[in-house]
Chains A and B, each alone.
Chain A
């Protein structure tokens, strides 16, 4: 065959593909979808009470100068069970925690709180994930540090585990100053 080099073209093209693909694998995968709402105030929304023990929740009351942790949870959510002890611990250390129960029902939330503790100040029932949408949250559980003006300052993705407590506390302090 006259043009032998032609036969090497497929292999060459393939090597280029392999190079691109392996570079692509090395790149940092952003698994966590960060909220676009960070640095912005929470939109105003009234949510009915999700449990028989805690009052209803309105985002309008957030701008009262107090820093809060807004926790998205649900009675059907297994990681939320894992998160519960850390929330109780945070509450004992003086953190005000507001709960938002996603696509939930009152008897279920009551049962969840009896079983896993109730660290919440108020709990709003977000039956259609409207609040979740406003917060830019992509899953349950998630937690948001909201400052005294009602502005979202920090998003914690997934359950708060023991090793996350210090980080959460420092974010709360940062939001207070």
Chain B
């Protein structure tokens, strides 16, 4: 009964989405007040129904109901509780249900909390959100029904992909989904504003928190995903330029550009058309990413739901929504008034440059991701790997970092170049010192990109806190703190990447138990290997005593695991985190003569990569809280009929 109730809830939600679209259309095009009154309640009911459907799917997984195809194919009664729970979205159908659940929850939130938006645009936005949801309901109900029954029921399930049986990964996909789907809100705002032709500063202020929320989730999701790949895949790398990683990076790049441009629109009423365009592009990238991963059109380690018919369906949705929005853009944007102009030396110009660079990087990642597909059609199989991306993306990232040194220090509207250059002297000075020092210490063994990366990181670190200089820190608005911390996070993350790339020491050895190996000043004693068993896996576990400079040894236990359902070997690396880096150990195969392969890495400051990601997300959160707080105060001021001064940050 649970499955049938879930399916019924989904159908009902789909009908309500259709109704919401019609009502919103009546409201916007005819000014029908009766319809207007109904739009919000319908949006709320639709959100509640999909939430119910998702809760029921989780219930099916928790009960290990093997009469449901999805549960039988992706779960197993022996699986630990948390992975039964996470199994609900660790597959194609469940994750698409999560997608519509988040999407309709976002619709609910727009209906409930959005107050700053122009009325007509608000209804148009809700209509657009309903239209997108409708397509995804159709996708779920016609080609990816999560509630399909299996007759006769399976004796037991086939298990969840063991790589996914990891606490970090249980929550990584939902986090990214919140980000992807959050961008649908920005998209709907843009479509709404195009329909009502009301693109202005107040529109931007209303849209900004939504973009920020999506962006924070994307940042957290990407950071967590990178760390997961780092310790779970056992390759010691943190970014592989895999299509799926690119699929999450592209929306992030677009969203980063978007919230910078939406800030310009909010503060200065400039960049109207560009902001609308970016809103469409950001969501387009979310959908393109989903399409690339799900259709199996590109080969990826993440392609867990490859099905060309589904790909066709997704492509149709993609064509319809994004194509429709771009058509609307081409037809309507000419009728939207151009925003204000600004001086070549100004914060606006800096943000335009930021947007340009981010767009170029986005374009290059997109081309690199699609290129194998293009050449394969011409009969040549190529794979575009890290060398291309690092070589092409690296320089543009460095340019972006250089801009990050000067941009946040520029004033709005007009600034004088000399004063601006004077402000960046400390940052440039430190950057030069670092450049020289690293070059002297590392000599010729350091590559040009990591060297410049460390230089840029030093410059950005100083420059990012410069906006606080000379300010009363207590009265500094929260969103300025947010900007400072996020930019500092960029420096920290970049430093980690450059340091890991430049200074990692790697050792691959084959030794017998009792042997001692030295790596980068650490003494690693290989004590032996023992078989152990977990709830649904068995493993060979090595015991390694690790010490530095004769200190007390720490025991590290890397494993080679073997999952029984489905049968899959995985590598569980072991890490020892020190303040200045991580020791990373992987247990390999046993050789015929009783020796074991060990892989040892010393990765200086590698943890900075994810710490920086965390800082970036934290900065976003502070900016969000700051903006919402100010919006709230402003709303109260308006309510008292006292028009407050517009404070421009």
Contact = CB atoms under 8 A, between A and B. Distances in A.
A14 B326 contact: yes
A74 B564 CA distance: 12
B315 A18 contact: yes
Contacts of B296: 29
12 contacts: A7-B333, A10-B280, A10-B330, A20-B370, A20-B374, A20-B377, A21-B373, A22-B312, A25-B311, A27-B377, A76-B564, A103-B562
A24 B377 contact: yes
Q: Which of A21, A22, A78, A140: most chain B CB closer than 10 A?
A: A21
A8 B374 CA distance: 23
B319 interface: yes
B168 interface: no
Contacts of B327: 11
B589 interface: yes
A148 to B, nearest CB: 30
B326 A24 contact: no
Interface in B299-340: 306, 308, 311-312, 315, 318-319, 322-323, 326-327, 329-330, 333-334, 338
Interface in B261-308: 277, 280-281, 284, 288, 291, 295-297, 306, 308
Given A7-B330, A76-B564, A77-B567, A24 B323 contact: no
Interface size, B (range)? 35 or more
A25 B315 contact: yes
Interface in A150-173: none
Contacts of A29: 296, 306, 308
Which 10 residue pairs of A and B lie closest in terms of their CB atoms, listed nearest first?
A11-B326, A7-B330, A24-B297, A24-B373, A8-B330, A1-B334, A25-B311, A10-B326, A18-B319, A25-B308
Contacts of B311: 25
A128 B597 CA distance: 14
A172 B334 CA distance: 71
A11 B323 contact: yes
Contacts of A128: 589-590
Contacts of A140: 567
A14 B567 contact: no
Contacts of A27: 376-377
A135 to B, nearest CB: 17
A7 B315 contact: no
Given A10-B329, A14-B323, A76-B567, A20 B373 contact: yes
B322 A14 contact: yes
Given A24-B377, A76-B564, A76-B567, A15 B297 contact: no
A32 interface: no
Contacts of A18: 315, 318-319, 323
Interface of A: 1, 4, 7-8, 10-11, 14-15, 17-18, 20-25, 27, 29, 74, 76-78, 103, 128, 140
A8 B277 CA distance: 12
Given A7-B334, A24-B297, 9 more contacts: A7-B329, A10-B277, A10-B280, A11-B329, A20-B373, A21-B318, A22-B312, A25-B297, A76-B564
Contacts of A76: 564, 567
A1 B332 CA distance: 12
B567 A25 contact: no
A27 B295 CA distance: 12
A131 to B, nearest CB: 14
Interface in B350-396: 370, 373-374, 376-377
Interface string B9-48: 0000000000000000000000000000000000000000
A24 B306 CA distance: 13
A91 B329 CA distance: 68
A74 B308 contact: no
A85 to B, nearest CB: 18
A23 B377 contact: yes
A18 B327 CA distance: 14
Interface in B87-136: none
A29 B326 CA distance: 31
Contacts of B370: 17, 20
A175 to B, nearest CB: 30
B270 to A, nearest CB: 15
B295 to A, nearest CB: 6
A18 B311 CA distance: 12
Contacts of B288: 17
Contact of B297 (A4, A21, A103): A21
A17 B371 CA distance: 11
Nearest to A22: B315
Contacts of B377: 20, 23-24, 27
A78 B319 CA distance: 41
Contacts of A7: 329-330, 333-334
Interface centre among A17, A24, A29 (most CB of B within 10 A): A24
A20 B367 CA distance: 12
Contact of A4 (B318, B322, B334): B334
Nearest to B322: A14
Contact of A21 (B277, B291, B306, B334): B291
Interface centre among B158, B330, B333 (most CB of A within 10 A): B330
A22 B297 CA distance: 9
A103 B322 contact: no
Contacts of A11: 323, 326-327, 329-330
Contacts of B315: 18, 21-22, 25
Contacts of B322: 14
A20 B366 CA distance: 13
A15 B323 contact: yes
Contacts of B338: 1
A128 B454 CA distance: 44
A4 B333 CA distance: 10
A116 B520 CA distance: 54
Contacts of B326: 10-11, 14
Nearest to B298: A24
